[in-house]
Amino acid sequence: MQTRKLGNQGLEVSALGFGCMGLNFSYGHRISAEESTKLLHKAVENGITFFDTAEVYGPYTNEEIIGQALKPFRERVVIATKFGFNIQDEKMAGTNSTPAQIRKAVEGSLKRLDTDYIDLLYQHRVDPNVPIEEVAGTVKELIQEGKVKYFGLSEPGVETIRRAHAVHPVSALQNEYSLWFRKPEHEIIPLLEELSIGLVPYSPLGKGFLTGAFDETTALAANDFRQNSPRFAAEVREQNLAFVNLLKRFAVEKEATPAQIALAWLLAQKPWITPIPGTTKIHRLEENIGSISISLGADEISAITFEADKLKVAGGRYTEAIEKTTGL
């Protein structure tokens, strides 16, 4: 497995990470702790060293699963987690990034992950009521105390990134980014290149859509969080499947799958981009890892991008209320 450097502070991770949220949260189904452990061990065996979780996944239980599963490999892996929300009655209840809440969240994460330190700590979403300088300053103190190694942000705007970075270097930014959602290319990616900050794309396979597993009739469970994504609505599926068909055309040429082409395209964008696809299935894990060995030439990358530019995504990625919580 190749490795990539995120930021200039020393953070180095596998070129492909593992997004752990879906193991037991958000997708309408979950796998057991035992099944999760088997899957995560398989990921480590295949060279993945970068694992992403958050206190709100579950809430709390995702961190517990990750902590126990990765404990035998603790010195070999990089664990990222996140703070930034109130949690009441086992649900997110608004943003909260006050210094006291950050410290409370970190102590909880350390306990659930069964570790002495968090490798990469993200602010999960910007808190409009707390200056980002206070947030960065608190994380800086936690780094000085040895409880955290690196500082990250998730879905902030460009000014927030600059202000945070001025207080303490941001090593990584986690944003949604895929062939299906390219908004970060406009302002975010140029800024990250300027400031030497790594990018960790979540939902690099469009929350599963770009794998080709969906068609016009595919049903979502009532508690699947993709119910909150207008672009998954049945009436727009046919238009959005044009992206999958594009990937399929290039997949045939490379003897690959649409998912592998989608990931290979992302990996080819910048040497400091590390996608974190998630899965609950070993064969999908192996498929994702296979994207590392797919070499797309400059002409092929340009051709995929050129063809994608002709297509228009139908529907927003989230509802309007949820989208307002991001800085994009």
Residue of 27, 57, 150, 202 with catalytic role = 57
For the cut 60, the answer to whether the pLDDT of residue 327 exceeds it is no
Neighbours of 39 (CB within 10 A): 20
**Residue carrying structure tokens 């997110």:** 92
- The model's confidence at residue 234, banded by pLDDT at 50, 70 and 90, is confident
Q: How far apart are CA 243 and CA 220, in angstroms?
A: 20
The pLDDT of residue 325: 67
- The model's confidence at residue 289, banded by pLDDT at 50, 70 and 90, is very high
Asked whether the beta carbons of 279 and 285 are under 8 A apart, the reply is yes
Asked whether the beta carbons of 325 and 95 are under 8 A apart, the reply is yes
The pLDDT of residue 317: 86
Asked whether the beta carbons of 276 and 245 are under 8 A apart, the reply is no
* 198 beta partners: 172
- 199-216: average pLDDT: 94
For the cut 70, the answer to whether the pLDDT of residue 196 exceeds it is yes
Q: Which amino acid is at 277?
A: P
Question: In the chain, what are the domains?
Answer: 3-206+269-295 (3.20.20.100)
Q: How far apart are CA 274 and CA 174, in angstroms?
A: 10
The pLDDT of residue 239: 94
Q: How far apart are CA 172 and CA 255, in angstroms?
A: 33
The pLDDT of residue 225: 83
Q: How far apart are CA 6 and CA 200, in angstroms?
A: 9
Which has the closest alpha carbon to 126: 93, 158, 165, 84? 84
Tokens of 282: 């070993």
Q: What is the DSSP string of 76-111?
A: G-EEEEEE-EEEETTEEEEE---HHHHHHHHHHHHH
Neighbours of 147 (CB within 10 A): 19
- 202-215: average pLDDT: 94
117 is catalytic: no
Could you read off the pLDDT of 41-89 as tens digits, one per residue? 999 999 999 999 999 999 999 999 999 999 999 999 999 999 999 999 8
Q: Which amino acid is at 273?
A: I
HSE-CB for 249 with a 13 A CA cutoff: 10
Q: How far apart are CA 162 and CA 327, in angstroms?
A: 13
The pLDDT of residue 4: 98
Cα 149 from chain centre: 19
The pLDDT of residue 328: 55
Which H helix or E strand runs over 38? helix 33-45
**pTM of the predicted model, to two decimals?**
0.96
- 120-124: average pLDDT: 98
Could you read off the pLDDT of 5-48 as tens digits, one per residue? 999 999 999 999 999 999 999 887 889 999 999 999 999 999 99
